[in-house]
Amino acid sequence: MKESLSSIKIIAVFLILTASLYPIGYWLIFHMESAVPLMLSVGLATVTTCLIFKKSLGSLGWSWGSWKYQWLSYLVPLGYVAAAYLIMWILGFGEWYNSEYVTALREGYKVDAWSDTSVIIFRFLITASISFILILPGVLGEEIGWRGLLVPELSKLMSFSGIALTSGFTWAAWHWPMMVAGVYGNETAPLSYQLFFFTLGLMSMSVIMTYVRLKTNSVWPAVIFHMSLNAFIQKFFNPLTLQSTDSGWYLNEFGMVLPVVIFCISIYFWRKGQQEFGSAQSASELLSPQKS
């Protein structure tokens, strides 16, 4: 009972601090032309919460864990993003590929003699490596909050399903003000439509990320998962897709296809999570200090 009350206090303070720092991070989006400060504000709220409660920063899951799950966390987002965009291209919600974008890449890379295919392959390799790494600071700022602090504290209060869905809903809701303000999302589909599918996608991803967090007792698989997702959507698949006036209903995290694909994949991880650590006691034991 005492441990549960302590976790409730920690979660409450973390959420209050996250909400309090949000306006500053949001303001900096326009003054720095980057969302990284807003993402880092979650990390600042996390560190401050740990200091207030004299909670070791080591409890956030800094151990690397198994390489198996690092690779899984890199490849799963790539796999389902590729599958989702392939579905969209086949069904005509967008076309492969945007030749104007490829021309701009060719000029930017100064490889005028290269074919479109060579430019696209090179872009993929850049996305999979350099772009992926450059995303680290902002993503790490978010993930030490959502999966580093929030998931372990929730594990002391609820079962696997509760942990995954609560942390996922919180993660999604954190993005809502930007979507309502019109700085995040698209201009095609209604806001309610985008909010629904965006939230479905993030809650589904949270099931997968919660599973690997509990399985490895490490925050790094969640960080890699998040980085892989952002890199391949934002730097490769979305800009390379030739869009029509209706594509906003289907593309990206705000359209229908990608969240539905993620949801289908998350069912597998939800079943594994329920089997391996379905109860609150099982989940919290996996994240106990002696396992760190």
Q: Given this model, what pLDDT does residue 290 score?
A: 41
In a domain, 239, yes or no: yes
Within 8 A by CB and 6+ apart from 138, the residues are 35, 36, 39, 40
In a domain, 24, yes or no: no
In a domain, 195, yes or no: yes
Q: Given this model, what pLDDT does residue 291 score?
A: 41
Please report, in tens digits, the pLDDT of each residue of the chain (292 residues total).
Answer: 667 889 999 999 999 999 999 999 999 999 888 999 999 999 999 999 999 999 999 999 999 988 999 999 999 999 999 999 999 999 999 999 999 999 999 999 999 999 999 999 999 999 999 999 999 999 999 999 999 999 999 999 999 999 999 999 999 999 999 999 999 999 999 999 999 999 999 999 999 999 999 999 999 999 999 999 999 999 999 999 999 989 999 999 999 999 999 999 999 999 999 999 876 555 666 666 544 3
Per the structure block, which two tokens stand in for 193?
A: 């439509």
- Domains of the chain: total: 1
The residue among 130, 129, 109, 127 whose CA lies nearest residue 119 is 109
Rounded to the nearest 5 degrees, what angle is found at the Cα of 286, between the Cα atoms of 290 and 169? Answer: 130
The residue among 164, 141, 145, 144 whose CA lies nearest residue 154 is 164
Q: Given this model, what pLDDT does residue 292 score?
A: 36
Provide the domain limits for residue 270: 63-291
| pTM score, whole prediction | 0.93
In a domain, 7, yes or no: no
**Separation of alpha carbons 154 and 283, rounded Å:** 9
Q: For residue 94, list its beta bridge partners.
A: 243
Kindly state the helix (H) or strand (E) to which residue 262 belongs, with its residue range. helix 257-277
Peptide bond preceding 97 in cis form (omega within 30 of 0): yes
In a domain, 37, yes or no: no
In a domain, 43, yes or no: no
In a domain, 276, yes or no: yes
pLDDT tens per residue across span 133-162: 999 999 999 999 999 999 999 999 999 999
pLDDT tens per residue across span 6-42: 999 999 999 999 999 999 999 999 988 899 999 999 9
Task: Please answer whether residues 49 and 13 qualify as being in contact, where contact means their C-beta atoms are separated by less than 8 angstroms.
Answer: yes
In a domain, 72, yes or no: yes
CA distances from 170 to 87, 165, 167 (A): 29, 8, 5
